[in-house]
Amino acid sequence: MMRRDHCLRILAARVTDQIVVPVFQAAFDWLAIKPDGLNYTAVGAMGQASSHALGLALGRPDKRVIVLDGDGSLLMNLGSLVTIAGVAPKNLVHFVCENDTYEANGGHPIPGAGRVDFAGLARAAGYRGAHDFADLDTFAARVDEVLHAEGPVFATLRVVAGDPAPQDFAALHSLEARRAFVERLRAV
């Protein structure tokens, strides 16, 4: 297993001007690691990160869109996999942080914990590529392949929580955060 914050640091080193849609615990980790106006936070909309990312990918086909989903969140909206695959945005990269829990809701186990094959679901839905990573060195060696593949591409990151990140919900949902995103998106 990999620590989520370690995975996100590897990813952050490669993100330049891509739109990143992080959700729940991954959002807090991501914002602490890679604060940027192009972070579109979907916290509070469990299950909707992949749909938000799809809308952004379709609206800005010139920009790479990376979604940092949670396993519990994705389970709330599995139909998005089929929708994304059907539309097939070439600029969408979908990561799911799999830790087998609804971490944001007290760490309760997700249905099918330990048995769900998220990469297999994405592959069956029709994603162009699907990967599964449980080793940090392997992820580091192959992350560029995932990020540069024609989308939609999917990758499961089998993770455990890392160091706790600040959880400032007020800042996350603030008007300032929304304005910063819109302004930065218009500028790129």
- Write out pLDDT tens, residues 8-66: 999 999 999 999 999 888 889 999 999 999 999 865 667 899 999 999 999 999 999 99
Res. 170 pLDDT band, cuts 50 70 90 = confident
Closest CA to 92 of 138, 121, 52, 33: 52
Alpha-carbon gap, residue 75 to 102, rounded angstroms: 10
CB 123 within 8 A of CB 96: no
pLDDT of residue 166: 80
CB 90 within 8 A of CB 64: no
What pLDDT sits at residue 109? 82
Mean pLDDT of 146-169: 91
Average pLDDT, integer, range 72-84: 95
pLDDT of residue 173: 80
What is the residue extent of each domain of the chain?
2-64+71-113+146-155+171-187
pLDDT value at residue 167: 82
Enter the DSSP assignment of 78: T
pLDDT at 135: 98
Domain 2-64+71-113+146-155+171-187 top-level CATH class = alpha beta
pLDDT in tens, 99-152: 988 877 777 788 888 899 999 999 999 999 999 999 999 999 999 999 999 999
Selected residue with higher pLDDT from 156 and 109: 156
